[in-house]
Amino acid sequence: MDPWTLLVLHAAATYSLLGLIWVVQLVHYPSFLRVDREHFAAFAKFHVDRISVIVVPLMFLELLTGVGLCLLPIANTGRSCFVIGLGLIGLIWTVTAFTSVPLHRRLLTGFDERSIRLLVGWNWIRTICWTVRALGLTWVLWSLG
């Protein structure tokens, strides 16, 4: 695949995840505290099942195209921006695997205010990482234009 196609796919994935993470951070996760405790486990399962259909393919697309952009750099761009971006993807995946996923699993058993608050708190790391990634990618796109 040529580097320009990688860049377009990468930008599509990153900007999609950026919008999604801000909605999740500011609206969706805080709403977990407002769900009826009796129906919370079913709500948590619904959330995990539905959000995964959106997030998992986008995260894999972002990762694969991010690796590709490090290996096949675009003329007139520095590789460092893509390497830093890939490092941030690594941090996002680490937080997802070791905090978000376990906390979501815990919430599948029922309402747990502490777990919800931890989920919101830890998710700030992913939110900031995706924001920084999108800003860096915007800089790259701007410099190419």
Count how many domains the chain has. 1
pTM listed for this prediction: 0.94
pLDDT tens figures, 72-108: 877 777 788 899 999 999 999 999 999 999 999 999 9
Q: How many CB atoms lie within 10 A of CB 76?
A: 8
Enter the tokens of residue 28. Answer: 């969706």
Distances (CA, A) of 51 to 46, 72, 83, 142, 145: 8, 31, 28, 31, 34
Distance CA(58)–CA(47), nearest Å, equals 17
Q: Which domain holds residue 41?
A: 3-144
User: Is the pLDDT at 50 greater than 80, yes or no?
Assistant: yes
pLDDT tens figures, 7-21: 999 999 999 999 999
Q: 31 falls in which pLDDT band (50, 70, 90)?
A: very high
Cα four-point dihedral sign 1, 96, 31, 133? negative
- The string of DSSP codes covering the chain is --HHHHHHHHHHHHHHHHHHHHHIIIIIHHHGGGS-GGGHHHHHHHHHHHHHHHHHHHHHHHHHHHHHHHHSPPTTS-HHHHHHHHHHHHHHHHHIIIIIHHHHHHHTTS--HHHHHHHHHHHHHHHHHHHHHHHHHHHHHHHH-
